[in-house]
A and B are shown apart, each in its own frame.
Chain A
Amino acid sequence: MTATTTTTVTLADLTRMLRESAGEEEGVDLDGDVLDTPFLELGYDSLALLQVVGEVQRTYGINVPDDAVVDAETPRALLELINSGQISAA
């Protein structure tokens, strides 16, 4: 499990993985401007975030600590966490 890529995970990557691993709430447009929309408003609870962080780890080899994930309340905060995790992993 070593991070061999320096690819930055984007909002589009994150929303794709959210859809695939946790589904999509009816009435929510993940393709809209959701960078600062709280996950709760997007229909995602902490388990959904743990699920997507697992997907990030499998796809990008980036390890994000579980207890840090629950503090990331918006896609922007989670992406910052993911992309800074990549730096520390590399």
Chain B
Amino acid sequence: MTTTTVVTGLGVVAPNGLGTDDYWKATLAGESGIAPVSRFDATQYPARLAGEVPGFVAEEHIPSRLMPQTDHMTRLALAAAEWALKDAGLDSGELPEYAMGAVTSASGGAVEFGQRELQNLWSKGKEHVSAYQSFAWFYAVNTGQISIRHKLRGPSGVLLTEQAGGIDSIGQARRHVRKGFQAVVSGGVDAGLCPWGWVPQLASGLMSTGQDPARAYLPFSADARGYVPGEGGAILVAENLDSARERGAAHVYGEIAGYAATLDPAPGSGRPPGLARAARNAIADAGLTPDGIDVVFADAAGVPDLDRAEAEALAEVFGPRAVPVTAPKTMTGRLLAGGAALDVATALLALRDRVIPPTANVIEAAAGHPIDLVTGAPREADLRSALVLARGHGGFNAALVVRRTP
């Protein structure tokens, strides 16, 4: 007997919408959340745009005791987790003690909190550093706070594979469900909009220095010039299908049908990058062939060389222009460890409503990219399976197939 793992709860915190419904409406309408940075003064840096989550008043979502000990990133993650569990209708208090776990993705941890406390240390002295700095900055903090708050005593973990982490955390959640745990809170929410989070990304040389929010992040376009970062992501509840049916779960968004991760070879090795292999492995893991995939949510780096590599990988796996490809992250920016989780949530919503959200701001794919890029408006399609791709800086590739549950 095989265990089928499905997603029964979603919680979205995105730059173009707070909450799943607002996000999905904005995404289908092509509304972008990319704008000049407001969380810190970015005017002294060459890159000045970001996707910031709108209208999040932390005190409305976070208990008083958690406020002094949480970064903005963790507050967003806690809100998304609470919504996801509520959406799933799951309460750990009504389940066996170890039935539920938490696995999330992270990148640099809570850098805004960490920067503030390091500044306190350097400028005022050690007695001005928050005692909560001991864990609040830590990259495992979202998993920790979510599992403590919701008493998730099953397996927990955190995956750091940069932008690929949102998928890897869901793949890991599926492993735990297959081992017999009923449900795992997974996905990722990230936020690094502060100088400490900004400068390392600038140093990568992959950030866009465009100043026009509608023109700065144009993946697969002839005008691609880098990516715009953002904050947010999605938390997903991965659950055993049998348990979900037994308890009459309100939503079964879709099955986590296939997952694979690969690493790129060392630079200069001459061997091909691992994205196509990840895609093929995930499709095979789902028991499908490429013609069974109805839409691809692309990594969409927005960097010409990386866009070319992804377009070639897609053409290699599917054939030229053989499958619709989209990048709704053009409306949010790339969300570090939260990005791929949001893409998976978006793919599940697309399956539910049988519509492919568009790639915003891009008029058409550059002539050299052999892909069918969905631009301009949503495209209705009888979607059964979607492939989500992600690449993390440093050579991480991850691919996830989600399938509509019959």
* A residues neighboring B (CB under 8 Å): 1, 19, 21-26, 43, 47-48, 50-51, 54, 57-58
Contact = CB atoms under 8 A, between A and B. Distances in A.
21 contacts: A1-B127, A21-B68, A22-B65, A23-B63, A23-B67, A23-B68, A23-B69, A24-B64, A25-B63, A25-B64, A25-B65, A26-B63, A47-B132, A48-B65, A48-B131, A51-B131, A51-B132, A54-B127, A54-B131, A57-B127, A58-B128
Interface string B41-77: 0000000000000000000000111111100000000
A19 B67 CA distance: 11
B204 interface: no
A47 B131 contact: yes
A1 B128 CA distance: 12
Nearest to B127: A57
A23 B127 contact: no
Interface size bracket, B side: 10 to 19
B44 to A, nearest CB: 30
Closest 4 CB pairs of A and B: A23-B64, A50-B131, A23-B65, A51-B131
B68 A51 contact: yes
B134 interface: yes
B130 interface: yes
Contacts of A26: 63-65
A19 B130 CA distance: 14
A58 B128 CA distance: 7
A11 B67 CA distance: 22
Interface string B123-135: 0000111111010
Interface string B144-155: 000000000000
Contacts of B68: 21-23, 51
Most chain B beta-carbon neighbours within 10 Å: one of A23, A24, A26: A23
A50 B134 CA distance: 11
Contacts of B132: 47, 51
Contacts of B63: 23, 25-26
A63 B157 CA distance: 38
Contacts of B134: 47
Nearest to A49: B131
Given A21-B68, A23-B67, A24-B65, A58 B127 contact: yes
Contacts of B130: 51, 54
Contacts of A21: 68
A69 to B, nearest CB: 10
Contacts of B129: 54
Nearest to B129: A54
Contact of B69 (A25, A47, A54, A57): A47
B29 to A, nearest CB: 38
A19 B129 CA distance: 17
Nearest to B134: A47
Nearest to A43: B65
Nearest to A53: B131
Contacts of A50: 131
Interface in B99-149: 127-132, 134
A50 to B, nearest CB: 4
A54 B127 CA distance: 6
A50 B132 CA distance: 9
A3 to B, nearest CB: 13
Given A22-B68, A25-B64, A26-B64, 13 more contacts: A19-B64, A22-B69, A23-B63, A23-B65, A23-B66, A23-B68, A25-B65, A26-B65, A47-B69, A51-B68, A54-B127, A54-B131, A58-B128
A72 B335 CA distance: 43
A43 B66 CA distance: 11
A7 to B, nearest CB: 18
Contacts of A19: 64
A21 B131 CA distance: 10
A43 B11 CA distance: 28
Most chain B beta-carbon neighbours within 10 Å: one of A22, A24, A48: A22
Most chain A beta-carbon neighbours within 10 Å: one of B65, B131, B134: B131
